[in-house]
Chains A and B, each alone.
Chain A
Amino acid sequence: MTRNRGNRALAALALAALVAGCATTGDRAPSKADPFEPFNRAMYAIHEPIDTNIVRPIAQAWVDYVPTPVQSAVRTFFGNIEDGFSAFNGLLQGKWEKAGNDLGRLTVNVWGFGVVDIASQAGIPKGDEDFGQTFGYWGIPQGPYLFVPLIGPTTVRDGTGLVIRAYASPLLYVVDDVPLRNVLWFLGAIDLRAQLLDASRVVDQAALDHYTFIRRSYLQRREYQVYDGNPPKKDDDE
C-alpha cells in the first residue's frame, strides 16, 4: 500500500516536471549539448531545494562538527575504493604511470588499514580516472546532458559510467550486512557532497543562472579530464 502510494507520488512528480518542462520550451535558445533542457531544468528544480535545505546543510554540519580524524578516515576509506577504480580505468586507457600511482597508493594504504591515507602523506599523487573518461578516451561522445536529482550534472556517457561504477562497488560484494552497508553508503555520499561545498559557494557567488553555470562547468571539466588537461581548442560560441 505504502509502496503503491510512493510510486503514484513519484509518477505525479515526474508528470508535473514534464509539464513544467514543456511549458518553458519556447523561451530559450536550444543548446546543442543539452537537447533535453526543459526536462533537465525541471529536474534541477526538484533537486535544488532538496540540496539547499537538506543535503548541503548535512554535509556542512559534517565538516563543521565531526572530528577531523573521523572525517579523514571516511574520506580515506572511500578514497581507496576510488583509487582502485582510477587504477582500473587508467589501465583501460593505457595510462601506465597514473595507474601505477593509483596501485601504489592502494598498496601503501593497506598499512593504514584503509583509514589512514599514508600514500598522500608520502606524496603519491591521487588519480581521478573513471568510466566516463575511459569511454571518452575511446572516442565515445558525451551524448546529451542530463541533470539527475541528488546525483547532479551528468551526461548519457558519464551517467552510464556512474551506473557501472555503482554496480561494481565492492561494498555490494564485501559488506553483507545491509544496515551497515546503508550507513556506509550514507557516509560516502555525505563525504562526496562535503568535497563539493567549496564549489557550491563559488557557484552561488559567480553564477547569473545556476543551471547554465553548472552545466557549462560540468561539460568543460569533463572535457578537460578526458584530455588530461590539454583539451583541443574550441571555436567561438560552441
Chain B
Amino acid sequence: MSIILSVMREDTFWRILLFVHFLLAVGLLAAVTLQAVAVLMPARQMAGNFIDRSPVPAASYTPLIVVLYVFQALMGAWIYVKYRTYVRIPMEELRYFWTVGSFEVKEHVVTMGLGLLPAYWYFWRQPQSAEHAEVRKWVTVFLAFCVWYAFIVGHVANDFRGVGS
C-alpha cells in the first residue's frame, strides 16, 4: 500500500479503485441481468437456420457472476472503509439521511446475495433439471435485484463524494 501511495496521491488511488469497482459492477450487472431475463422469458423454440449465431446459454454466465460478485463484495468492503470515514460523516452532517439509510440497506442486501451464491452455483450446475427450476429462477432474480440495488445506491453515494463529484 505504501509503495502505491509513494507513486500517487491517496485521493487518486481511492478514485481509481472506485472507478474499477464501477467498471466491474457494470459487467456484473450485464451478466446477471441477461441471465435473469433468460430465466424469466425463455424462448419456446429454436430460431432455426434464419439466425446463424447461437445465443450464449444462460448457464454459462454462472461462474462469471459468482466470481464477479465475490470480487465486487471484497472490493466494496475495502472501499467501505473510506466511505465510513470520508463520506458518511459529512453525509450525516449535511442531513442526507435517506442516502445514508439506503447505503446501510445496501450492506445488508449485498450480504444476503453473498450467502445465496453457493446455492445459486449449485442450481445452475444442471440448468436442465426440472427439480430446482423454480427456485433457480427466483434465486437468479433475487441476485439480479441485489446487484441492481447495490449499483444504484452505490452510484448515488459516489455522486455525493466520489469519482467526478
The yes or no verdict on A and B being binding partners is no
